[in-house]
Structure 1
Amino acid sequence: MSTMLLTACVATGWLTGGLFGWSLGCRRVTARRARIRREERRAPVVSMEVLLDLLPDAAVLLDGHGALRFANIEAKATFGEALGTIVRSPGMFAALRKLDGVTLQASGSLVIEVPVRRVVRVAVRLLPDALTTGPARVLAILSDHSEMDAVERMRADFVAYASHELRTPLAALSGFIETLRGPAANDPQAQQQFLGIMADQAARMQRLIEQLLELSRVEMLEHRKPRGRIEAASVIERVREETVAACTAKGVVLDTAYEPLSVAGDEEQIIRVLVNLVENALKYAKVEERPLRIRVRIEAQTQHGRAGVVFVVEDDGAGIDAAHLPRLTERFYRVEGRGRTSGAGYGLGLAIVRHIVDRHGGSFEIDSVVGKGTCCQVWLPVA
């Protein structure tokens, strides 16, 4: 009897201890879970917009109608003001129309011609309901393929332009070489004359190739927004250094003036623009009856309610007929006539100027009056 009682007591104590330990363990688990829930509630909630800003790719959020609701940092830096045009383009709407609830993702390509040519590859995806914030329903990833497109077009254009413009000097060189080998083989005076002409033709071909390459480089960079600074004092100093010798050699007076201004942009390209314009004035605006004066100035100017800086190159030369002004920035367009040296250029300088100005989001205007002179203005907006 006593043995049975002892056994029962031991068993009861073991059971009681086990139940107590199990209860204590449950309370600890419950407390730990409660503590985790409290910490989760205190933890900040990261929005989709914040996560998209961390992406290295250009990403935008659109609503069900294709309207832009959010653009991450990379999208703004890569496309800037062109984002609105990209979102409203037919290519974007064509990709969005494929998202019908069954098809959750689609892709497509679109081309924008204004203000500069851009080729964009877009991939769109319908967001799950758990990830949607407000009206945003679609995630679009944008890839800029403009540079690859520019390279392909550059190759085709270079072959077409070079083959067209190099034909004449190459034919001249071939003719003179044939003459030197034949009738002028024993004529030193004719040889010297023909060799001089051949050197001029070779120099013309070299200038053409250099300008074509420069035009191609400018077109490749046209879609990239410049991120440097343009200082008026530095620009004027560099322009004088590169052009004063040529002006002095031709008896041309070069005047410069500037305000101490600064604007966002590629300073090297703007210097190239002004040098091109001064060289054009030297080539095409020469008047024999009186000395030519070229003025370069930089000053603040507001256009259409936007603050900006204007770079002006003007001369008091022969001027250009108004009928030619709309076409002066076309490739290989040249004006031949009184007061201009024939064959002075290939008509690429102003085409280069236009592409550089387009890259900077500015404007380029040419005003000219026959007999009074020409004024070229490059206006850039203040960021």
Structure 2
Amino acid sequence: SYASRRADLEASKDDDEEWDDEMPIWASIAQSTEGVEIQPSNAPPHSRNQSTTAFTEPSLGFTSATKLAHVGGWNPSNSNDHDSMEYEATLMGERITQLYLDPLSASILRTGLRRAVRRKVRKNGDVTDFGMMHLASSTPDFIPLWAKTSELERNSSLWLKTNTVEDELLIDDSMEERLLGKVKSAWMIEMWTQEDTLRSIESELDVSPGDVHHRVDLMGWLLAAGQQVLLTDDVFSEEHLPVIGEIATEIDMLRQRVRHGCKSDLLQLVNIKHVGRARARELAGLNIRTPKDVVRMNRSVRNTLLSKRGWGPLLLDKIHAEVDKVLHRQSTSHSNERIPKIRDDDIPLSDESSSDN
């Protein structure tokens, strides 16, 4: 009847609804898991008493990336710094960064080069090209060769080489196997600068041509970096600057020899375009050692060169043209040096008094 239906409706209004259509199904399932509770969005966040550590509060002026005002911006908080605290890169650190050098490599180069300067000043030890190459091969930026099992024996050629150059080394190594590997690397570069062929290097040290060229590039870069580290180091007094300049010149010459793979007497020739170490040695065999000697080449020498393998009239014309460009550029630079002009208005008057200013 109508009265019974009305009574049922009034009874249903007194019951509270315990379900929520806005709650997703996954939240309802997660709520049934022990330890998980649903927190209303308008409820205050649960605070934790976190201790201040190096991970929660950066110090020494560093700010975490999440606390920056905007991407690409820098708005550091100075609350943890003293007002007078400033950070500035040293000259050595700035130079190392510009050279893209590993800081450990720079430290090794600096230690070895300081020992080289002290040897030169005290004259109690030799500073050789092999010592410089071994120093560069001892850095983490270089990829040293590994000594084979047969080379670890006491009577091997690598072992004898290591004992021979022991006094020339500028850096020590505690592990014997690693020392032999670095000496082998320096020995390989030394053979390259002594104009040994890639085939002879491979037969002697079992190193492929690709490995030779890769390490030659690394050695040239590290020698140039070592020269900059030496010139930037400021621990020595001014009276030792000539010694530092002498070592820097030796490093630069060694770097050029490593780059071209030749002895020092060919450096003027290998800098000519189209002339490598093999052609330069053939020119030196005909008593041609400078660019001016190339220009003064007579007909008989020219015919002798043309009779050799790999030489032709077109190649000789190109070499002559390159030498003419270099010599013309040098003569032009010297002629452009302005001679001080004598001005009439600089001549003092007869009654003009002299002045100290």
TM-score by length of 2: 0.22
Q: Which has the higher strand share?
A: 1
Q: Which has the higher helix share?
A: 2
TM-score by length of 1: 0.20
Larger Rg: 2
